[in-house]
Amino acid sequence: MTTPRPGAKQPARIATSVLAADLCYLAHEVQDIANGGTDWIHIDVMDGSFVPPITFGANMVEAVKKTVDHFLDVHLMIEQPEKHFKEFVKAGAELITVHQEVCPHLHRSLGAIKEYGIQCGVAINPATPVEAIRPVLDLVDLVLVMTVNPGWGGQPFLSSCVGKIEQLAHLRQEKKLSFQIQVDGGIQPETGQLCFAAGADVFVAGSYIFGSKDRKKAIEDLRQAVSPEAVTARIN
């Protein structure tokens, strides 16, 4: 294995985003990806202010929780997220991720999530440098590197974000930290593999998985692409 993935935890995890599900058939859609082998379920909460669309709230977390037993990863794309932590935890969130861009008191926001006894994550938009979250890297369980500007599913992957994954992976090793690196936006086997080689551990995919007729195969193909063997085979 020639590719460096400094401090990476194995194996890679796949987090399917329900944003791309057919909400008329939510229980069926969620069961389908659970049977297909997704590791986590990613729930995108948007407020119509930090990002243009409004999606769903804690009721969606509760509905998914009732349907499957998977790890629920809640991505808050909302202003003043602290106001809502309690309701998301009560609904079943096991990881809450907030955006650096809307949290002027980031230590306080992340600490408030930890007080509920769940994992906390910090997300950065494509234009936000790693430097902006450096002071909190020892507090977080996960760093989410957005690979599109948040707001919609189905946008093209921004390869300019890959350097930030490498930067974070090196910082993780250098400072002996253990946060996971998550990527979100335009992830499919090819882009996932680029991120994996750079050091990412958790791969959020919405339209790639829900847009496939065979979701199980889509998940398997992504899992295969984000493996050390696939990266080595590509290099050699």
- Rounded-to-integer distance, Cα 172 and Cα 7, Å: 6
Q: Are 84 and 74 spatial neighbours (Cβ–Cβ below 8 Å)? A: no
Residue in 32, 44, 47, 73 annotated catalytic: 44
Residue 6 or 220 having the CB closest to ligand DX5: 220
- Rounded-to-integer distance, Cα 216 and Cα 201, Å: 20
Residue 142 or 148 having the CB closest to ligand DX5: 148
47 binds ligand DX5 (CB under 6 A): no
32 binds ligand DX5 (CB under 6 A): no
Q: Which stretch binds Zn ion (CB under 5 A): 44-52, 114-122, 125-133, 169-177?
A: 44-52
Is 39 labeled as catalytic in the residue annotation? no
Residue 63 or 202 having the CB closest to Zn ion: 202
**3-class SS at 116?**
coil
The mark string for 192-211 relative to ligand DX5 (x by CB under 6 A, - otherwise) is ------------xxxxx---
- Rounded-to-integer distance, Cα 217 and Cα 169, Å: 29
Q: Which stretch binds ligand DX5 (CB under 6 A): 14-22, 95-103, 173-181, 215-223?
A: 14-22
- Rounded-to-integer distance, Cα 208 and Cα 194, Å: 16
We find the least distance from the C-beta atom of residue 156 to ligand DX5, in angstroms, to be 9
Q: Which does 151 bind (CB under 5 to 8 A by kind): Zn ion, ligand DX5, none?
A: ligand DX5
Q: Is 229 exposed, middle or buried (0-12, 13-18, 19+ CB in 10 A)?
A: exposed
Phi-psi region of 20 (alpha: psi -120 to 50; beta: other; left: phi over 0): alpha
We find the least distance from the C-beta atom of residue 148 to ligand DX5, in angstroms, to be 6
- Rounded-to-integer distance, Cα 218 and Cα 17, Å: 13
- Site residues (vs ligand DX5, CB under 6 A): 17, 19-20, 42, 44, 75, 148, 150-151, 153-155, 184-187, 204-208
